[in-house]
Structure 1
């Protein structure tokens, strides 16, 4: 399952772990997704939404 917000489409970001010896390995920061029942039109639907969308009120729970 993709780590992507169903509402805004925000996905994981990529970068490097950098050790004390300056060794670099690839890593990723995943989006904080929460399963929510949200109203889409007149129907309530199960969605995986990032916490940013929940905090800003982009979804209506229901």
Structure 2
């Protein structure tokens, strides 16, 4: 499964490491995903969620 939040769609970003000499090399920033069991329409479902979505779900519940 892809590294993508199933609620907000957050996914890896491409960034640059920039050295003191201004050399640029590519890097990937991965989202902070956690596996969590969430109740959806009365059924429990395991989902990959980013931590910001998990915090939002905890506020709503």
Q: Which residue of 2 aligns with 1:40?
A: 40
TM-score (norm 2): 0.85
Unaligned runs of 5+ in 1: none
1:15 to partner: Cα distance: 1.2
1:12 to partner: Cα distance: 1.3
Q: Which residue of 1 aligns with 2:6?
A: 6
Moved over 4 A (4+): none
TM-score (norm 1): 0.84
Q: What count of residue pairs does the alignment treat as equivalent?
A: 60
Alpha-carbon RMSD = 1.9
Residues of 2 paired with 1:15 and 1:34: CA distance?
A: 22
Unaligned runs of 5+ in 2: none
